[in-house]
Amino acid sequence: MTHIQISPGAVAPGDDRSVPGRSGSQDGPPANAAKRPGRGENLAGYLFMSPWIAGFLFLIAGPMVFSLYLSFTEYNLFEAPRWIGLQNFSDMFADPRWRQSVEVTSWYVLIGTPVKLAAALAVAMLLAQKRWGQSFYRAAFYAPSLIGASVSAAIVWRALFSDDAIVDRTQKVLGFEVGGWIGDPEMIIYALIALTVWQFGAPMVIFLAGLKQVPQELYEAAEMDGAGRWRKFFHITLPMISPVLFFNVLLETIHSFQIFGSAYIVSNGSCGPADATLVYTCYLYEQGFVNSRMGFASAMGWLLLVAVGLVTAVLFWSQKRWVHYEEGGR
Amino acid sequence: MSRNNGMDRRQLLKLAGLSAAGLGLTAAGCGSGSGGSGGPVTIRHSWWGADDRAKKIQQCVGLFEKKHPKIKVKTDFQQYPDFWKKFNTQAAGGNPPDVIQNAVTFLRKYEAKNVLLDLSPQVEKGNLDLGGFRSGLEKFAEIDGKLLGVPVGSNSMALVIDEKVYEKAGITPEIGWTWDDWYAGLQKIKNGQKIAGDAGPHGVMYLYDLILRQNGKAFFTEDGMGFGEAELLPYWTEALERVEAGLYADPNKVEQIKPASATAKGLSAGEFTWDNFSVRYSAEGKSSYGLAPIPSTDGKKTGQYLGSLMLSGTARTKHPAEVATFISFMTHDPEVARIMGYDRGVPATTAQFEAFQPADAPSKAIAAYETSIADAGVLEPITPHPAGADVIEAAFLRIGADLALGKTSPKDSVKQFFSEAKTALAAN
């Protein structure tokens, strides 16, 4: 039996990326498609996939379709949903708390994501250099991302930024009398942003991988031409890692839109004070599970999906201007 | 760069497979059924409260299982807000616990949704004893002829005070004192000891209810709001002035120390709350704490009533008789009273009331307080709470806090509150 190539795009390193089947040869369909797997193998494949397919249908696709229906209804979990058309959406735009949640989330995404990525890139560049104890540092900087999603980290965060806790005391020593951040509606969002920035491990690892790929010859050539550190960064490093940067921007932006756990816990389940941490999902959760307005919550969910989709589309559109792929790659 | 763009498809599939397997496992875990017939019957009981209450209830359940070997009780507890989120979801999914701790704010909400069990047939069958309840408490959860719960204890609103601060200021709160006396006291405390006199009462729905009742109104009617913007606006306007004047505690600081109490943490000389909550203060704070009467407008009518925690069965239960037996045990057995003390208020039945003789100072204070208001004859019947009252209470608290933090004007706060209240009444 001949070898079956599973991934059609996979190319051995060093070849010239002429993918079989794309060269317009008389083979017609791509070579790998011509060698169809036997029926038994198909069955085995589907069998192995069946838990995932079942999970997808029952736990993701089904509920999604149902929630789309619910978004046009009034539904309090107990009585049958009542069709109200676009009422939920118009209620939403008229609701000052909904607008507040959009504002808080946008602020969080706009400030948190760039700062987090900048921190990730800066540390990745430090860790990309060969030095003693390198693997220890890599692990140490990655660690917060592992525990970051946990409830305990958010509780610790709450303790750090409370009145008379370590952050407050340090501020006092430095001469700022701003008090704890947790009870301050102006400041608490920055405590949340600090929490997400602190968890830069995942994008950092991806940046590290990207930095490793930048050919050293480019730097050597630039040095010969007398380029300084910043010049090298802006003219070699950034363009060379721009696909990785794009990937990180995309992932982190989508991720930031969905912030919930940390906001919920740092604010002690209130998304306050004064709705200062009322992120979108927090309000969605409150409407759905506390106020029993599942239709409204579903409508909010779908609007979030559309918004994230739009932002993703804009990012993809913008990549033509700033993301540089090596020739032939995409 | 693009030569190695991250993960290849095979790795991706592997990952997807793994996560799907994980999902499958969790799904399987959720579906574990209950039931079983023939042998002992198992009922589920859940409540809200701190660890301390959980230990006591666990002890009572142990006792119950010993006396009723055919009934097993599975227990579960959460903090108050989490409890209702979970219960709401369980009830909607058709799988609520058989017996729950309940409060008046939720009675109509779940009655309207047919979630609660009508216990009156069980009374007729003799599984639930309604004899020996103090001052008509057995009627507490009766709605439209249905018995939707049985009180386990009674409590009333009170003013918890830091006795040391009040003593130093030379203030002795007495039955018959007025709001003007109270405000003068706050000023005295502020001037003499640089402490706020109160934690900020403007978000406490149950206190505002008393103030309305003192003026011939009430927070709720049977199906809506019992007051309007004209009442709330001056109340919140004055509250904001008192926050700014430092008579009410700095809301920023109150927020920081949550869930601890502001008075116990020394941020204020007192706060309005349920009398049985005073048990926690001596554990949380360093001073000594006492209960003071509710001030009134005319020196007579305080608007007070007995509130109560209760036990309710849920309509979906397969074992209504066992549910009734358990509730009956929890409300009548003298041993239960000796274990629970005043944790859920002063016991509702005379048998339990007499069984527990408080020895600790906070419990003694609660007993003395409840006797004093009963003797003063200020107690009235409770006002109804419409479906949605729970959401309205949360909105009142939240908007009151926003106001104190200076994020909204009193006028906007009042408007926002009534708009949310309207939505809550319509949705529930």
Is B374 touching A (CB cutoff 8 A)?
A: no
pLDDT of residue A35: 61
* Residue from B227, B232, B228, B225 nearest B387 by CA: B225
pLDDT digits (tens, 9 = 90+) for B316-333: 999 999 999 999 999 999
φ and ψ at residue B175, rounded to 5 degrees: -60, 135
Q: Best interface-test mutation with A: which of B405, B409, B417, B425 has the largest number of A CBs within 10 A? A: B405
Instruction: Judge contact between B264 and B280, C-beta under 8 A.
Output: yes
pLDDT over threshold 70, residue A3 = no
Interface size A-B, in CB pairs within 8 Å, comes to 130
pLDDT digits (tens, 9 = 90+) for B51-64: 888 999 999 999 99
Instruction: Judge contact between B344 and B153, C-beta under 8 A.
Output: yes
**Dist CA A323 CA A210 (whole Å):** 13
Q: Are residues B405 and A179, on separate chains, in Cβ contact within 8 Å?
A: no
Is B391 touching A (CB cutoff 8 A)?
A: yes
Instruction: Choose the closest CB to B407 out of A78, A274, A325.
Output: A274
Residue ranges of alpha helices (H) inside B258-409 are: 279-284, 320-332, 334-340, 350-355, 361-376, 389-404
**Dist CA B206 CA B277 (whole Å):** 14
Q: What is the mean pLDDT of chain B?
A: 88
For strands B157-162 and B289-292, give the pairing.
antiparallel
Q: Name the minimum distance, in Å, from the CA of A285 to any CA of chain B.
A: 10
User: Residue A301 is encoded by which pair of tokens?
Assistant: 């969910």
pLDDT digits (tens, 9 = 90+) for A224-275: 999 888 999 999 999 999 999 999 999 999 999 999 988 998 888 888 788 9
**How many C-beta atoms surround the C-beta of residue A178 within 10 A?**
12
pLDDT of residue A13: 41
* Residue from B312, B352, B355 nearest B44 by CA: B312
What number of CA atoms fall less than 13 Å from residue A305's CA on the CB side? 10
pLDDT of residue A180: 84
ipTM value > 0.85: no
Q: What is the mean pLDDT of chain A?
A: 85
pLDDT of residue B24: 42
pLDDT over threshold 70, residue B2 = no
**Dist CA B276 CA B136 (whole Å):** 20
φ and ψ at residue B198, rounded to 5 degrees: -140, 155
φ and ψ at residue A82, rounded to 5 degrees: -115, 125
Contacts of A118 by beta carbon, 8 Å cutoff, 6+ apart: none
Is B27 touching A (CB cutoff 8 A)?
A: yes
User: Residue A147 is encoded by which pair of tokens?
Assistant: 């525990």
Give the residue-averaged pLDDT of A203-221: 93
Q: Are residues A292 and B428, on separate chains, in Cβ contact within 8 Å?
A: yes
Side chain identity, residue B101: Q
Q: Are residues B84 and A290, on separate chains, in Cβ contact within 8 Å?
A: yes
- Chain A positions touching B267 (Cβ under 8 A) are none
pLDDT digits (tens, 9 = 90+) for A99-141: 999 999 999 999 999 999 999 999 999 998 888 888 888 888 8
Q: Are residues B1 and A243, on separate chains, in Cβ contact within 8 Å?
A: yes
Could you tell me how far CA A323 lies from the centroid of its own chain? 18
Instruction: Judge contact between B405 and A274, C-beta under 8 A.
Output: yes
Residue ranges of alpha helices (H) inside chain A are: 31-34, 39-55, 62-70, 87-94, 96-128, 134-148, 151-160, 166-173, 188-198, 201-212, 216-224, 229-232, 238-257, 261-266, 280-285, 294-322
Q: Name the minimum distance, in Å, from the CA of A257 to any CA of chain B.
A: 23
User: Residue A58 is encoded by which pair of tokens?
Assistant: 């029952």
Q: Are residues A49 and B398, on separate chains, in Cβ contact within 8 Å?
A: no
pLDDT digits (tens, 9 = 90+) for A276-320: 999 999 999 999 988 889 999 999 999 999 999 999 999 999 998
* Residue from B140, B89, B72 nearest B311 by CA: B140
pLDDT over threshold 80, residue B8 = no
- Chain A positions touching B10 (Cβ under 8 A) are 6-7
Instruction: Choose the closest CB to B24 out of A55, A163, A326.
Output: A55
* Chain A residue with the nearest C-alpha to that of B19: A52
pLDDT over threshold 90, residue A82 = yes
pLDDT over threshold 70, residue B181 = yes
Instruction: Choose the closest CB to B9 out of A7, A58, A78.
Output: A7
> What is the pTM (predicted TM-score) of this model?
0.82
pLDDT over threshold 80, residue A17 = no
